[in-house]
Amino acid sequence: MMAELTALLTHPLAQMVLALAAILAFLGVNGLVLLYAERKVAGFIQRRPGPYEVGPHGLLQPFADAGKLMSKQLVAPMGADRLLFWLAPLVSLAPVVVCFLPIPFSPLLTGMDVNLGLLLILAFSGLNTLALCLAGWGSNSKYSLLGAARAVAQSVAYEIPLLLAVLAVAFQVGSLDLSAIAATQAKGLLSWNVFVQPLAFAVFFISAVAETNRAPFDLPEAESELTAGFHTEYSGMGFGIFFLAEYSYMVVVCAVATALFLGGWDGPLVPGPWWFLGKVFALVFALMWFRWTFPRVRFDQLLNVCWKWLIPLGLANLVATALLVKWVG
Amino acid sequence: MSQDANARLTGDFYTAPFGPRIEEEGDTLILNMGPQHPATHGVLRVIVELDGEYIRRAEPVLGYIHRMHEKMGEVKSWVQYLPNMGRVDYLHALAWNWAYVGAVEKLMGLAVPPRAEYIRVITCELNRINSHLLWWGAYLLDLGAFTPIVYAFADRERIMDLLQMVTGSRLTYCYYRFGGVSADLGDEFIRGTHEFVADFRKRLPMYRGLVTDNMILRGRCEEIGVLSPETARRYGATGPVLRGSGVAYDVRRAEPYSVYDRLDFTVPTGRNGDAMDRYEVRMEEMNQCLRIIEQALEALPDGAHIAPDLSERLLPPKGEVYFAVEGARGKIGVYLLSDGGPTPYRVKLRAPGFSNLSLFAELAQGTLLADAVSILGSLDLVIPEIDR
């Protein structure tokens, strides 16, 4: 009996299901934590206390917000394509769960060891664009449509430099397995890829901000022009799920950045997973910092940055890495 | 483009039916911005026809907050009409106070005690800084920067506290009276104003470091909405919008009223007439306001703050009068026609925002939607003033 249970639990499929369940729990908690953190960070930057009334230091504010969002009536605008309209938030959130599978929180704490982990993440995170597109199209609103058009152009453009930066690291290590890439950086601070590949890190992080639609690149939801862009017509949990997905994608890109460039779980004193989470949330904090201090760029400027700077830089970096790997070994 | 379609372009949205046009010319989209839209600040409605994200034509639709201020003037007595002035443009209420009070004084030939003139200058300039600060925050909000408006409000709070000390209100001031002001300045106000001027002078370079020199901001403002002096004149634009185009027209200098001719300040102007120039002009104006306030506090004479022995029931003589002051948004004019009765016979208010907004359709043509928002913000519109 015991042996059967062990066999069942160690079966790859069972492990995957367990990991997915754990990830879902993590995403829920993460959403609440980041919601609170974002508002407190915004408060700190804007020299105000932020949420303070619900619970001690406003700690229960995210629960109040979540309760409010969940209890709201689901309203679809007149003339909306109801199927696509309600499908969009789900399409946005579902792939992000898979994206967490190959992320190495520590050598042991990895949802699923896939040797194509990076590819898996890039493939599934690309689905988010589809969700924004569906939301924009299904809403039957002009603002949403404009937001969706922006989202598609932006995501397609910024996926390229993102890929170029990731490829440079993959060339250097010779693997697409995130655990393996992180493991090569476990030899102390100077072995971290951010020092070996600083240009790739810069390209990756800037592209990541654009890929997650965060300010100053939050054009698909540019409030002052498009009211709320692709999610203008969403209320209640429709909006809530988009929100959760946005925060989850933030964590995914920051986790990938940590594994690729910041040494993964490497660090002294405390166990690896803490170091990993600490680095991830430090990067998330940087994203919040950007949002509350920068004005928004214009759409053509955004694409210019991508096509005129990031892609050439990423290409040059990739070629240089390839040559070095070839000649130096 | 066919000649027929061309002819339609010159019409407005009501005379030009836009239904068939879409079929004729393909990819255009009519987008209705407002009256509830984050970038139109209040209840302005703008209809834009978009080709992709480029604006083919834009048209502001007014009247959503029309409150018949001019008509009200015909049924209220001369004194009763005073509080209306604080509500025409709630951001620079004291300039409107001044325009109306000044017009009545001019009509009656009423002399204002020197102390009252200086008090008016000090409070009006404080109010101007207040207005520019709110514009600054709101404009950056339009450009997607959330934080500056909170910094602006920290400074605004101090100004409002100061003005509350003397006027009793924080936003819709009704402080000036025929022949003076309603209350004298206290020591606390004077001390507080000195402190504010010193502190705010340090804040301005900080604003520049934090925001003005930001690369993204410059990218969003420079060469956006370039307004030539000729176009500005054609539409009757005044205030920072006109000065941003390089025309040094300031009512305080061009047609000096009160004691402005005794005060030393410069009229900042821009060179290119783009949104950045309008921005810079306003930032420099705040600096000049500080200079004016300092000089006025220095020169503040003793004496009465209001002309003595004014009759309870004010009856200006028969005649007409026009009086203009420089508001935060431009030239504020009040025209009064009196038949010698207890109420004005006719009141006409010249709101600078109205002329400045009418530029928008021409400036926005051919720009991106995001630029149109930037242009709209750079005009510094207060919709209640435009609709009156």
Q: Do residues B377 and B39 lie in contact, with contact meaning Cβ atoms separated by under 8 Å?
A: yes
Contacts of B37 in chain A (CB under 8 A): 227
| Chain A closest-CA separation from residue B248 CA (Å) | 30
Please report the pLDDT score of residue A191 as a whole number. 76
The least confident of A27-31, A226-230, B14-18, B75-79 is: B14-18
Residue B360, CA distances (Å) to B57, B217, B236, B237, B276 in order: 10, 20, 13, 11, 16
Please report the pLDDT score of residue B25 as a whole number. 59
Please answer yes or no on whether B216 and A294 come within 8 Å at the CB atom: yes
Q: Do residues A145 and A137 lie in contact, with contact meaning Cβ atoms separated by under 8 Å?
A: yes
Please answer yes or no on whether A297 and B219 come within 8 Å at the CB atom: yes
Contacts of B141 in chain A (CB under 8 A): 224
| Chain B closest-CA separation from residue A38 CA (Å) | 13
| Chain A closest-CA separation from residue B276 CA (Å) | 14
Q: DSSP assignment of B245-278, as one string?
A: TT----HHHHS--TTGGGS-------SS-SHHHH
Phi, psi of B58 (to 5 degrees): -135, 145
Interface of A with B in 285-314 (CB under 8 A): 291-301
**CB contact A39 to B (< 8 Å):** no
| Chain A closest-CA separation from residue B225 CA (Å) | 14
Count Cβ atoms below 10 Å from residue A314 Cβ, excluding itself: 26
Give the residue with greater pLDDT, A144 vs B309: A144
Extents of the domains making up chain B: 3-61, 69-387
d(CA B309, CA B166): 22
Pick the closest to residue B305 from B172, B158, B122 (CA basis).
B122
Phi, psi of B57 (to 5 degrees): -155, 150
When CB atoms are compared, the residue of A146, A216, A224 closest to B216 is A216
**pLDDT (tens place) for every residue of chain B, 388 residues total:** 344 444 444 555 555 554 445 445 567 778 888 788 877 777 888 888 888 788 888 888 888 888 889 899 899 888 889 899 888 888 899 999 999 999 998 888 888 888 899 999 999 999 999 999 999 999 988 888 888 888 999 899 999 999 998 988 888 898 988 888 888 888 899 999 999 999 999 989 988 888 888 888 888 888 888 888 888 888 888 989 999 898 888 888 888 888 888 888 889 988 888 889 999 999 999 999 999 999 999 888 888 888 877 766 778 888 899 999 998 888 999 999 998 888 889 999 998 989 888 888 888 888 888 888 888 888 888 888 888 8
Please report the pLDDT score of residue B322 as a whole number. 92
Interface of A with B in 229-258 (CB under 8 A): none
Contacts of B31 in chain A (CB under 8 A): 142-143, 146
Enclosing H/E stretch for B117: helix B114-142
Residue B150, CA distances (Å) to A12, B147, B174 in order: 53, 6, 26
Residue A247, CA distances (Å) to A27, A99, A243, B50, B81 in order: 9, 13, 6, 32, 54
Please report the pLDDT score of residue B132 as a whole number. 92
Please report the pLDDT score of residue B20 as a whole number. 45
Contacts of B219 in chain A (CB under 8 A): 297-298, 301
Please report the pLDDT score of residue B100 as a whole number. 92
Three-state DSSP class for B336?
A: strand
Please answer yes or no on whether A224 and B144 come within 8 Å at the CB atom: yes
Tell me which residue has tokens 């690369």.
B215
**CB contact A224 to B (< 8 Å):** yes
Q: How many CB pairs under 8 A join A and B?
A: 76
Three-state DSSP class for A161?
A: helix
d(CA B258, CA B325): 10
pLDDT digits over A102-143, tens only? 888 877 767 677 778 888 888 888 888 888 888 888 888 888
pLDDT digits over A2-11, tens only? 777 787 777 7
Three-state DSSP class for B340?
A: coil
Please report the pLDDT score of residue B128 as a whole number. 92
Pick the closest to residue A170 from A3, A321, A23, A56 (CA basis).
A321
pLDDT digits over B162-216, tens only? 999 898 888 889 898 888 888 888 889 999 999 999 999 998 998 888 888 888 8
Sign of CA dihedral B267, B269, B275, B280: negative
pLDDT digits over A177-200, tens only? 888 888 888 777 777 877 888 888
Contacts of A42 in chain B (CB under 8 A): 146
Which residue of B214, B216, B218, B223 is the best one to mutate when testing the A interface, meaning the one whose CB has the most A CBs within 10 A? B216
Q: Do residues B328 and B95 lie in contact, with contact meaning Cβ atoms separated by under 8 Å?
A: yes
Q: DSSP assignment of A9-78, as one string?
A: HHSHHHHHHHHHHHHHHHHHHHHHHHHHHHHHHHHHHTTS--S-SSSGGGTTHHHHHHHHHHHSPP---T
Please report the pLDDT score of residue B22 as a whole number. 46
Give the residue with greater pLDDT, B308 vs A44: A44
Instruction: DSSP letter for A310, please.
Output: I
| Chain A closest-CA separation from residue B165 CA (Å) | 25
Closest CA in chain B for residue A228: B38
CATH code linked to domain B69-387: 1.10.645.10
Plot region of A39 (φ>0 → left; ψ -120 to 50 → alpha; else → beta): alpha
